[in-house]
Structures are given as C-alpha cells and as structure tokens.
Amino acid sequence: MHPLPGWLIDYAAIRILDLLAWQEQNAIHGPLLEIGIYHGRSLALMLRSALRSNDRVVALDTFQFVPLETVKTGVAPIVDPESIVWLQTSSTSCSSRQLLHVLGADPRFISIDGSHECDDVFWDLRLAEDMLAARGLVAVDDFMNMVAMGVNVGVHKFFATPRNLAPFAYTCNKLFLSRPELAPSYRHAFEQMVMADRIEPLSAKGLVEQTLWGKSLEVLPG
C-alpha cells in the first residue's frame, strides 16, 4: 500500500491484514465493501484478502477528491481494476437493499471511511448494521481522532441506543466492530495477534481492556 497516498497507519494496516487472514482461516467468506476510497490504501488490503478467497470487492466513493481513473491506475499493480465493482455515488444515497444487490451476499468486511460528517457517519453505520454478515467485521476510520470530530459524534450517536454491532478492539484511529455474539471471539483473536507480534514496537506496549457503550474491547494506544 505504500506507493499509494493516504493516511492509513502501518500498524492499523497490519492488524487489518491479520483480521482478514483470521476470517480466511475460519472459513468466513463473503464480499468486502469499502465506503470512502481516496487513493485506495485500505482497498489494497481488502483486495489481497479477496484474491485469496475469491470474494467480490465493492468500492464506493464520490471520487470527487481523487478521480476514479487515478484510483484504478493506483491499484492496477495489485489486481485488474475491472474486477472491482466501482460505485461512484454517495453512500447516503444508497439503501442497504441496493448495496446488498450489488454485493451479492452479506459482506464479511466493511470499511467505513467516507464522509466524516456526523450524520453521514451515522448513516454508514446504519448500513453496516443492516448488511454485515453474521461473522463479519467493520472497521471505522478516524474514531477518537481529534481532527475528525464528526466521526466521534456520529459513532456515539449511533451507539446511544442498543445496536446489533459491538466494539471489540481499537488502535491507531481504527475502531473495530462485529456482531455482539462474535465480539468475544474477535477480541480474543485480536489479543493473540498483538501478543504474537515480535516486530512492531507498538505491540510491546501491551493492550488495555476498556469498556465502551457497555461492551469490553481491547485498546492498543498508538
């Protein structure tokens, strides 16, 4: 992903790769969806997993900041851009039914990194809640990022009422969610990934168990 411009932190990328690999190892299949592409850094991680599992990838963005053709050129060394389903639109103009029709099945991974405005983040989380596969996971970008206040307000607004999503881990601006019944399994897997990491200095700092919206999650301060 390094040749692609963007702000995805290396450590967050490593843990996303780990979580996607864990899905593959546990026979969790299904399409992958990203809302908000920019140049495609996190999309590149999703493509790696999708290629190994032969799953569909859907990339949704207005492409107003980075033209679609530029993004296609950037990911071309990874995969034929025409193998990706590109949706040039705003997520707030999409319903979960429309997206599921394009995806073809409940997605196993959803990356939320589109508009950082409160109401838009709330909408994207509603879409994720409606669509996520029973054993899928969601990565929400820029939560607890002080220069992305709209994300923080939108996420808190979403979890102000009981939800069919629960947090299980947080690190480097990424909040990870799953279905509540799968959160303990994902949390344990995330903990094992960090403990087994002997390369990244951040892993050596150790995890801190926290409670957020009444749910336990593993936090690795970055």
* pLDDT at 1 exceeding the cut of 90: no
Angle, CA 109 vertex, CA 221 and CA 175 arms, to 5°: 20
Are residues 132 and 106 in contact, defined by beta-carbon separation less than 8 angstroms? yes
Only one residue has tokens 């107003």, namely 64
pLDDT of residue 222: 74
pLDDT of residue 28: 97
Give me the percent of the chain exceeding a pLDDT of 90: 97
pLDDT one-digit tens code per residue, 94-103: 999 999 999 9
- The predicted model gives 103-118 an average pLDDT of 98
Region of poorest pLDDT, from 1-5, 64-68, 139-143, 205-209:
1-5
What are the CB-based long-range contacts (under 8 Å, 24+) for 181-188? 182/134, 182/135, 183/215, 183/216, 183/217, 186/19, 186/137, 187/216, 187/217, 187/218
Which residue blocks in the chain are alpha helix, DSSP H? 10-25, 41-53, 68-75, 96-103, 118-131, 149-158, 183-196
pLDDT of residue 46: 97
- The predicted model gives 172-176 an average pLDDT of 97
* pLDDT at 144 exceeding the cut of 90: yes
* pLDDT at 134 exceeding the cut of 80: yes
- If you average pLDDT over every residue of the chain, what do you get? 96
pLDDT of residue 9: 94
Are residues 175 and 215 in contact, defined by beta-carbon separation less than 8 angstroms? no
pLDDT of residue 213: 96
* pLDDT at 2 exceeding the cut of 90: no
Give me the percent of the chain exceeding a pLDDT of 70: 100
User: Percent helix, strand and coil across the chain, each rounded to 5?
Assistant: 45, 20, 35
CATH superfamily of 10-220: Vaccinia Virus protein VP39 (3.40.50.150)
Confidence of residue 169 (pLDDT cuts 50, 70, 90): very high
Only one residue has tokens 């808190």, namely 156
**Domain boundaries, given as residue ranges, for the chain:** 10-220
In 3D space, the residue among 215, 144, 193 whose CA is nearest the CA of residue 20 turns out to be 193
Token readout for 120 is: 């838009």
pLDDT of residue 48: 94
Token readout for 13 is: 């990328």
Cα of first residue to Cα of last residue in the chain, in angstroms, is 20
pLDDT of residue 49: 96
Are residues 32 and 56 in contact, defined by beta-carbon separation less than 8 angstroms? yes
- The predicted model gives 31-37 an average pLDDT of 98
Confidence of residue 79 (pLDDT cuts 50, 70, 90): very high
